[in-house]
Structure 1
Amino acid sequence: MPLMCLPGENIRIIFHVDMDSFYSSVEVAANPSLKGLPVVVGSDPIKGEGRGVVSTCSYEARKYGIHSAMAISKAYRLCPDAVYLRVNMPLYKKVSSNIMEILKGYSSKFQQVSVDEAYLDVSDLVQDYDEAENLALRIKEEVTLREGITCSIGVAPNKSIAKIASDYRKPDGLTVVLPGEVERFLYPLDVSRISGVGKKTSIILNEMGIRTIGDLAVYDVQVLRERFGKFGLVMHQLANGIDGRTVMERGDVKSISKEDTFDRDTSDMVYVEGVIDVLSENVHGSLLKKKYLFKTVTIKVRLEDFTTYTRARTLGAYSSDLSAIKRTAKALLQEFRGRGRLRLVGVGVTKLEKMDEKQSRLSDFF
């Protein structure tokens, strides 16, 4: 059954706040002459000969078919006249920190989940969803006024629905899903809208006759568990609007990682190394944001047959060096050359240690 509020039950209202095309939006805010232009943030395309990948791009660039994790050479072929910029992580980190401070001012129940998105539980701050909508509008207005970029907000009874809602009307969107409208909102959407359901999982679900969230919601849960294990049950619950996770600031961080599932399985290791560069930069940005040093670098590799491997290497001393993450991750990747096509790659750091005040100041220069 879909999520419903029971009589006498306290109303629960969750926001998911997601910055729109964050890196490129920050670049445009810093340089207004870029407004309205296709902007691609990533590596140097070298007139179509570059070997890196797109980190993110503006909505104008997306009209040409460009998207994140695409080979930069392909992006150049699609739109050679776009503005190509290198990743400027210190700038994005600074703007992210400013935005998160804004969001913290709207709720004591705050959870940052990445450099450009966060959850807020405003249940004890508003009386109903009308007040919640007005609060969301104030947040959007303040973010734009102070940082010059837009965000999209989903307002819903739980985290899963709020996240789907924030992506519903991008960019600069606001979508409110009332408890009694969960089924009507979720059921027509493509099953890939559920967090964790990637392209390969979507293909398998489609082959099972499951194309929409509504299809998944009424599907035999035992069959889903047999096919997908525990995640089959999780998918079924999320499809029915069931998500009991709370919004809370994370405690001590044990690890920081990012991963990417490729559009197509690939054996092009130059391309994979480009993706590792982007993932390493994202991990490094989170590392500095949370003010941690690392000692161990890990990679995750999933092959085309879904076998998954993790490899790790521990450095001689704690570090905050981006180049050490990239270098070590690429060295660990070499084991998988000639092993067939890769479906997914991830980069992470573990054995974390909080920076002291001096180290924190020095990290601003990396």
Structure 2
Amino acid sequence: MAQKEENTYKKIIHIDMDAFYASVEQRDFPEFRGKALAVGGSPDGRGVVATCSYEARQYGVRSAMSSRKALELCPHLIFTRPRFDVYREVSLHIRSIFGRYTDLIEPLSLDEAYLDVTEDKLHIGSAIDIAKKIKENIQEELQLTASAGVSTNKFIAKIASDYQKPDGLTFIGPSKVIPFIETLPIEKFFGVGKVTAAKMKKLGIFTGYDLKQWEESKLIRQFGKAGGFYYNIVRGIDRREVHPNRISKSVGAEDTFENDINDPELLHIELEKLSKRVSQRMTAKNAEGKTITLKVKFADFTQITRSQTLTKYISDTDTLLEISKSLLGAIDIEEKKIRLLGVSLSNFWSDKELISYNGQLSLF
């Protein structure tokens, strides 16, 4: 009798810090605890919210929302300036915690990462137990909470980490993967942004089950290369590896002016043009990003960049423009004149990253 072939599988954890920037502020400043708090933006209605506390989210406040809209929803909202140096320091500590269990760590931003613990360094074996220990380490050492998703691939782990926020841990094993995906609203699919979700709904695709009814060739016809990914992912197939050294990718646009500019209104007009161009290029690539970077070159040829990483993927002109204006507003221009502006979007999910997946879902 032939010996049964041993199943191989991946054990993937996605860790996502809970309201990261806001939680760090509430940890460090007791007066913010239990309060509706926005990091970024301003009480005069200018700028946009980078992230907010869960107390603020109860009123509908969200990241990338204009301060004006946030105040309409939550008039008692408290604003505080971001402290990126502190967030980076905390992020490095979190990364060191991950490193105790595996070297296969793929950071997506300061506050989230994939971990492949198929062969963990401490020989714990159980991905669920490793996720619990990581959450405990973060709580004990940093007084912060994280949510974890555990599954057989990156796609399901990513969705699972958001399932029971905050301070959640969700395991979706092989027997639950397909039922889970079939009942999932299409806008919850990682890699399906607002534009794609709207298009799918026009085609009668509202859930994973609806998506599963489509032939691969028809999905590719409608969505390009991403259609092949959607076809496989709704069947639980995702062969993407956890890459410790992710290649940074970005899409951007910049302009050098004939005459140096100092007028804020003119600068905002230029930012709108650049944001539209970046949005169009992202749409052409069927991509969305999380990190917006503003590049400013002054008349004396000195150059600076400022970036902001959001908690969700975007590609629309309005959000690009609002964040870019906020980043520009935080720069002390004074009497300086600007000769070049640039806007770019990176840290993104692109159809060029979607590969052709074959084979069956491995057992966990």
Once the two structures are TM-superposed, the CA of residue 330 in structure 1 deviates from its matched residue by: 8.4
Please, what is the CA RMSD of the aligned residues? 3.8
Q: Distance in 1 between matches of 2:15 and 2:93?
A: 14
Q: Which amino acid aligns with 1:322?
A: R
The equivalent residue for 1:355 is none
Displacement after TM superposition at 1:127 (Å):
12
Residue type matched to 2:77 in 1?
Answer: A
Map of 1:331 onto structure 2: 341
Select which of 9, 13, 28 maps to 2:11.
13
The equivalent of 1:340 in structure 2 is none
Instruction: Find out whether 1:174 has 2:151 as its counterpart.
Output: no
Partner of residue 143, structure 2: 148
Deviation at 1:182, TM superposition (A): 0.8
Task: String of CA shifts for 1:15-72, please: whole Å, max 9, x gaps.
Answer: 00000111101111111332211111112121xxx22111111111011111111110
Q: 2:89 & 2:127 partners in 1: Cα distance?
A: 28
- Quick check: 1:13–1:129 contact (8 Å CA) kept in 2? no
Q: Supply the distance in 2 between the matched residues of 1:43 and 1:60 (Cα, whole angstroms).
A: 17
CA pair 348-194 structure 1, distance change in 2 beyond 3 A: closer
* Matching residue of 2:154: 159
Contact 1:16 1:155 in 2 (8 A): yes
**Residue from 105, 112, 126 that aligns with 2:107:** 112
Counterpart residue number, 2:306: 322
**Superposition pairs of residues 231-310 of structure 1, within 5 angstroms:** 231-250=226-245, 253-255=247-249, 301-303=278-280
State which of 22, 33, 40 in structure 1 corresponds to 2:20.
Answer: 22
Deviation at 1:164, TM superposition (A): 0.7
Shift of 1:347: 3.3
Which of 208, 213, 218 is matched with 2:213 structurally?
218
Does the Cα contact within 8 Å between 1:152 and 1:170 map onto a contact in 2?
Answer: yes
CA contact (8 A) 2:295 2:304 kept: no
> SS where residue 302 of structure 1 aligns?
helix
User: Equivalences for 1:132-143 in 2 at 5 Å?
Assistant: 132-143=127-138
Number of residue-to-residue matches in the alignment? 294
Any runs of at least 4 consecutive aligned residues in structure 1 with deviations exceeding 6 A, and if so which?
126-130, 312-320
Deviations 1:151-200 (A, max 9, x none): 11000001111001111111111010112221122110111122121112
Structure 2 SS opposite 1:187: helix
Question: In the alignment, which residue of structure 1 is the partner of 2:80?
Answer: 85
Whether the 8 Å contact between 1:154 and 1:163 is mirrored in structure 2 is: yes
CA distance 1:305–1:32, shift in 2 (3 Å): closer
Aligned amino acid, residue 14 of structure 1:
I
CA distance in 2: counterparts of 1:61 and 1:189, whole angstroms: 26
Q: Aligned residue for 1:60?
A: 55
Residue 121 of structure 1: aligned partner:
116
Q: Which amino acid aligns with 2:212?
A: A
TM-superposed CA distance for 1:116, in Å, is 0.6
Q: Do the aligned partners of residues 332 and 314 (structure 1) sit closer, same or farther apart at CA in structure 2, a change above 3 Å counting? A: closer
Would you say 1:200 and 2:192 are equivalent positions?
A: no
Relative to the length of structure 1, the TM-score reads 0.70
- Aligned-partner Cα distance in 1 for 2:9–2:342: 49
**Any unmatched runs of 5+ in structure 2?**
253-263, 286-293, 308-323, 329-337, 348-364
Q: Distance in 1 between matches of 2:9 and 2:238?
A: 15
> Does the CA contact (< 8 Å) of 1:51 and 1:71 recur in 2?
yes
Corresponding letter in the other structure for 1:331: L
Cα separation, partners in 2 of 1:20 and 1:8, compared to 1, 3 Å: same
Structure-1 separation of matches of 2:20 and 2:83: 12
